């Protein structure tokens, strides 16, 4: 691609049918149909402002076609897993990496060295994401010494305002229960990911997340890895963004007073989005409580039958 051409091109030259088609195909690999429509609608609205005299009829038709076929994510409340289950998945993947036999032992649970490193990486990512509600862009961009600061036993996250969606700086401590996992990953599994694959070129990088080919893991690849692990565990894929819903549900259930803090926890500039998560959390927990109540009634022993006859009034 000629970078000089992009720098001198007009907006209407860059938004071509071919470029939009490729963009839609890429979005469709990692997003729901409704999200794909929203991105193209936003592009259509923006380009009409930047190039108002250009004929954008074809793009208008494209975004309307996407809208007609877009469907909300199917039954999100039923698919969403609890924070406890997601956390358990993370720790189970790390445990599997630590305890599985090597592939040359010819055991059904055997794993290659690279497979062990990938399992630990993904488990570590799942357990970390359920404790810190990162957006996938920030989560995938974690870099040692940049926004992941390590000073002995003290580890913190630090993002500049320009790096955050809400344009507010973010500083947070690394979750203490995962300090051992961070150390294990950095000292053992991350070096394996950087060198073990035949495609690895031994690059030097401070990126926390490393791909199976020894390169920096892209947001889409990390997104896919988490969806794949959750699909294998629960039968349905859980995208990283839903971890935020699971975390807020846990907050509302275990500490109702913390509901007011969800706006700052999720990094929202206004309380409106936090209220949406709060209301959804209440719906999820109410549904689960209702299901538990029904199950308890079904499983409860039948009350003793009363003999036919006139019932006596209870004593005062």
Task: Report the C-alpha gap between 310 and 201 in whole angstroms.
Answer: 88
Model-level pTM?
0.61
Q: What are phi and psi of 111, to 5 degrees?
A: -140, 145
Between these two residues, 314 and 112, which has the higher pLDDT value? 112
Q: What is the pLDDT of residue 168?
A: 79
- Cα of 179 vs its chain's centroid, Å: 21
For the chain, give the percent of residues with pLDDT over 90: 33
Torsions phi, psi for 110 (to 5 deg):
-65, 150
> Residue 154 is inside which H or E element, if any?
strand 154-159
Q: What is the pLDDT of residues 71-91, one digit of tens each?
A: 765 555 556 788 888 999 999
Model pLDDT for residues 5-25, shown as the tens digit of each residue: 445 578 888 899 999 998 988
Averaged pLDDT score across all residues of the chain: 78
What is the model's pLDDT at position 257?
47
If pLDDT is split at 50, 70 and 90, which confidence band does 212 have?
A: very high
CATH architecture of the domain 84-238 equals Orthogonal Bundle (1.10)
Model pLDDT for residues 226-279, shown as the tens digit of each residue: 999 999 998 888 888 888 777 666 555 544 444 444 444 445 444 454 555 445
């Amino acid at each position: 691609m000629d970078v000089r051409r992009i720098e001198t091109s007009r907006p209407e030259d860059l938004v071509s049918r071919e470029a939009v088609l490729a963009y839609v195909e890429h979005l469709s690999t990692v997003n729901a149909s409704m999200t794909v429509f929203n991105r193209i609608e936003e592009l259509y609205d923006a380009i009409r402002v930047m190039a108002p005299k250009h004929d954008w009829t074809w793009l208008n038709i494209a975004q309307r076609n996407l809208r007609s076929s877009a469907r909300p994510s199917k039954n999100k409340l039923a698919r969403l897993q609890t924070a406890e289950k997601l956390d358990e998945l993370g720790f189970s993947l790390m445990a599997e990496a630590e305890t599985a036999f090597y592939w040359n032992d010819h055991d059904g649970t055997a794993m290659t060295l690279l497979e062990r490193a990938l399992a630990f990486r993904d488990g570590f990512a799942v357990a970390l994401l359920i404790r810190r509600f990162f957006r996938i862009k920030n989560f995938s961009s974690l870099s040692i010494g940049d926004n992941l600061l390590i000073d002995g036993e003290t580890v913190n996250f630090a993002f500049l305002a320009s790096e955050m969606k809400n344009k507010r700086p973010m500083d947070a401590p690394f979750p203490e229960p995962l300090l051992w996992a961070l150390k294990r990953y950095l000292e053992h599994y991350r070096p394996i990911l950087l060198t073990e694959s035949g495609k690895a070129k031994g690059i030097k990088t401070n990126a926390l997340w490393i791909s199976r080919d020894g390169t920096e893991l892209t947001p889409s690849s990390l997104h896919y890895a988490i969806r794949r692990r959750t699909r294998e565990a629960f039968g349905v894929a859980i995208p990283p963004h839903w971890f935020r819903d699971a975390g807020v549900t846990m907050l509302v259930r275990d500490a109702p007073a913390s509901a007011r803090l969800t706006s700052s926890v999720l990094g929202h500039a206004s309380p409106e989005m936090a209220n949406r998560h709060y209301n959804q959390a209440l719906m999820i927990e109410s549904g689960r409580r209702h299901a538990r109540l029904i199950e308890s009634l079904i499983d409860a022993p039948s009350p003793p039958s009363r003999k036919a006859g006139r019932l006596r009034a209870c004593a005062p």
